[in-house]
A = this chain, B = another copy of it.
Amino acid sequence: MKLSTKGRYAVMAMVDLASTSKGNPVALADIAERQEISLSYLEQLFAKLRRGGLVRSVRGPGGGYLLAHAVDQTRVSDIIVAVDEPIRATRCAPGSPTGCRVNKSRCLTHDLWEELGNQIHLYLSSVTLADVCARRVLGTSHVIDHPTEPAPADPSPMAAAE
């Protein structure tokens, strides 16, 4: 899982598609204009989304793209996974626990990143296109409990993910 801007563009386009299409195909050119994304770039993204089974295409005049599933069945995590290249195993191997054993502490951090990936996926799996369209996204930030003492007061409020 790679959290890049590419995934953000794909989600923006899918939200546009979901909120524009009432069962009719939506032309990429329309999405490109509304979202201010280059048409050719969009075409590349939708090619991946189609291979991932998230959208269906209709060719010819009056054609365009359709959601393959209902809006409440299309999860944000699926979009990002479909669009972003899976992995670039620079140092550690992705899934293998024996992959990185150069040093103990490196393996320790490996566990941390893996769990972080789980957390991110967990959250993005809980949000569907229907949620984003209906603005049902904010307001459920509650603390993830963890087997350690609670952290002190936050000295540096973080910048947003963008």
Q: Which of A41-49, A56-64, A139-147 contacts B (4 or more CB under 8 A)?
A: A139-147
CA distance A160 to B86 in the complex (A): 9
Q: Count copies of this chain in the complex.
A: 2
Among A122-144, those with CB < 8 Å from B are 122-128, 130-133, 135-138, 140-144
Q: Is A162 a contact partner of B92 (Cβ separation < 8 A)?
A: yes
Q: Is B119 a contact partner of A120 (Cβ separation < 8 A)?
A: yes
Output the nearest chain B residue to A99 by Cβ-Cβ distance.
B162
Instruction: Enumerate chain B residues within 8 angstroms of A77, measured Cβ to Cβ.
Output: 158
Q: Is A116 a contact partner of B112 (Cβ separation < 8 A)?
A: no
Q: Is B72 a contact partner of A148 (Cβ separation < 8 A)?
A: yes
Instruction: Enumerate chain B residues within 8 angstroms of A148, measured Cβ to Cβ.
Output: 72, 126-128, 130-131, 136
User: How near does chain B come to A107, taking the closest CB pair, in angstroms?
Assistant: 9
Q: Is A141 a contact partner of B125 (Cβ separation < 8 A)?
A: no
Output the nearest chain B residue to A53 by Cβ-Cβ distance.
B155
Q: Is B140 a contact partner of A123 (Cβ separation < 8 A)?
A: no
Which interface class (under 10, 10 to 19, 20 to 34, 35 or more) fits A? 35 or more
User: How near does chain B come to A83, taking the closest CB pair, in angstroms?
Assistant: 13
Can you list 19 A-B pairs with a CB-CB distance of less than 8 A? A12-B106, A35-B105, A73-B152, A77-B158, A87-B160, A108-B133, A108-B135, A108-B137, A111-B132, A112-B132, A115-B138, A117-B161, A120-B120, A121-B158, A122-B144, A123-B144, A127-B146, A136-B148, A142-B144
Instruction: Enumerate chain B residues within 8 angstroms of A105, measured Cβ to Cβ.
Output: 12, 15-16, 19, 34-35, 133
Among A1-44, those with CB < 8 Å from B are 1, 3, 5, 8, 11-12, 15-16, 19, 34-36
